[in-house]
């Protein structure tokens, strides 16, 4: 399902260096699989795909059918790991045909809230929802994270002006802690249907828990195939061998490059539906590795647009960066470039070729040019842009991140730095 091309690492990463880092990879593998490493209490994602009951998938798929009968859209309230995996999946699958900025793809439109604190955004959202039949999915482990909590307050009030009694009750679905937290109290008091966030899976690793599966199912996504893709990846990336395990090879390469002063990784793609997958990738690696004065800074570029802006920096700026391309072998559709009788633009030489042919040549040229300009790069390629391959990719990056964090010597499953701004914000807001 996924291949890793390392041709443009020559001169930057050698076979001897990979052999030299392998003991660290092996130790990381043991710490992860034997739950001996720091943060081991949050490694429930490791075997999660194989533990998801098919009965649970059928349960939420059945719920989705109920919701589709009397809803025009879904409102998904969450931030960070309770937002990015959902949006990444829907944007990856959905057509880019001028949706409202509030929407993602899916059979049932999904609006997002709680991922920012913009009054203009929320006002526009409420305006668009005024005449729609809506079902709200609010996702929060604690229920006290500021952004989703206050967004839910406003939207709950909005719902109460539209619905009463049992009709109101069925319009809200909570995904939260099993026993504790503000959102659990609200769900119990109001009688809202709820699903449990596992204690042993952190937010940024939670796309395959009810955090991601519930709203995605409601939107009409084939979550069975998403899980099946992740299950295949769990099996494929279980062996500790750099030749056979491309996930571990990717993690090892990242750390060899980091030790040589390559402090920034740019995830680049020539496929715009990958935009939010890259945003999800950035949260995963930034929160996992960026601590104790260490960590590769994850960034992203969408090509070929960014070749006309960031491309200059990539080609000739400070050589502290490496690049990972995320490519798609066979897109769903293609467009043929027509012949033009006058040929005023001079492009008849590629008439009859497809857009994807040109797109791939642009990628090949970029990878070669950046390599020659001193940017080592590698390429992850998905065979097809479908939901099963995306599930495979999610697990690939999660496993690579856990291994890479342990090689780096940090706890890849906590995020103590995230609390700093919260404490200052609460103080400024007057919270006691």
Q: Quick check: is 36 catalytic?
A: no
Q: Quick check: is 308 catalytic?
A: yes
Tokens 């769903």 belong to which residue?
A: 332
Q: Quick check: is 123 catalytic?
A: no
Per annotation, catalytic residue among 287, 289, 323, 398: 287
Taking the CA atoms of residue 221, residue 222, residue 226 and residue 232 in that order, the dihedral angle to the nearest 10 degrees is -170
CA distance 185 to 343: 68
Per annotation, catalytic residue among 166, 308, 333, 419: 308
The tokens describing 153, both together, are: 């307050």
Per annotation, catalytic residue among 132, 164, 422, 423: 422
Tokens 């496993």 belong to which residue?
A: 399
| Residues with active-site annotation | 287, 308, 422
């Amino acid at each position: 399902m996924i291949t890793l091309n390392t041709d443009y690492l020559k001169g930057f990463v050698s076979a001897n260096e990979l052999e030299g880092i392998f003991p660290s990879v092996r130790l990381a593998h043991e710490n992860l699989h034997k739950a001996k490493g720091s943060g081991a209490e949050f490694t429930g994602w490791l075997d999660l795909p194989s533990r998801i009951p098919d009965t649970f998938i059928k349960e939420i798929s059945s719920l989705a059918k109920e919701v589709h009968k009397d809803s025009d859209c879904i409102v998904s309230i969450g931030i960070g790991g309770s937002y990015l995996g959902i949006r990444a999946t829907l944007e990856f699958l959905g057509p880019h045909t001028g949706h409202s900025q509030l929407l993602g793809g899916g059979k049932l439109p999904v609006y997002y809230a709680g991922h920012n604190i913009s009054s203009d955004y929320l006002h526009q959202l409420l305006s668009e929802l005024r005449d729609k039949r809506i079902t709200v999915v609010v996702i929060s482990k604690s229920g006290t994270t500021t952004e989703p909590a206050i967004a839910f307050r406003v939207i709950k009030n909005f719902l109460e002006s539209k619905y009463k009694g049992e009709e109101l009750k069925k319009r809200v679905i909570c995904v939260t802690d099993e026993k504790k937290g503000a959102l659990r109290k609200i769900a119990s008091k109001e009688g809202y249907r709820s699903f449990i966030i596992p204690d042993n899976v952190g937010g940024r690793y939670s796309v395959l828990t009810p955090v991601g599966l519930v709203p995605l199912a409601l939107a009409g996504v084939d979550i069975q195939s998403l899980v099946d893709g992740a299950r295949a990846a769990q099996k494929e990336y279980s062996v500790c061998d750099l030749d056979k395990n491309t996930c571990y090879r990717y993690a090892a390469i990242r750390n060899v490059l980091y030790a040589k002063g390559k402090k920034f990784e740019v995830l680049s793609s020539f496929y715009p539906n990958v935009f939010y997958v890259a945003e999800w990738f950035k949260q995963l690696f930034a929160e996992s590795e960026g601590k104790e004065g260490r960590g590769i800074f994850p960034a992203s570029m969408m090509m070929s647009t960014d070749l006309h802006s960031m491309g200059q920096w990539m080609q000739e700026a400070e050589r502290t960066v490496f690049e990972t391309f995320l490519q798609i072998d066979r897109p769903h559709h293609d467009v043929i470039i027509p012949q033009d009788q006058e040929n005023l633009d001079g492009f008849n030489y590629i008439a009859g070729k497809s857009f994807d042919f040109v797109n791939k040549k642009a990628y090949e040229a970029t990878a070669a040019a950046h390599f020659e300009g001193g940017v080592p790069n590698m390429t992850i390629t998905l065979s097809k842009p479908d939901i099963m391959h995306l599930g495979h990719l999610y697990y690939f990056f999660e496993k690579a991140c856990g291994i890479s964090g342990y090689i780096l010597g940090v706890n890849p499953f906590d995020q103590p730095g995230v609390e700093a701004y919260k404490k200052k914000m609460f103080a400024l807001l007057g919270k006691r």
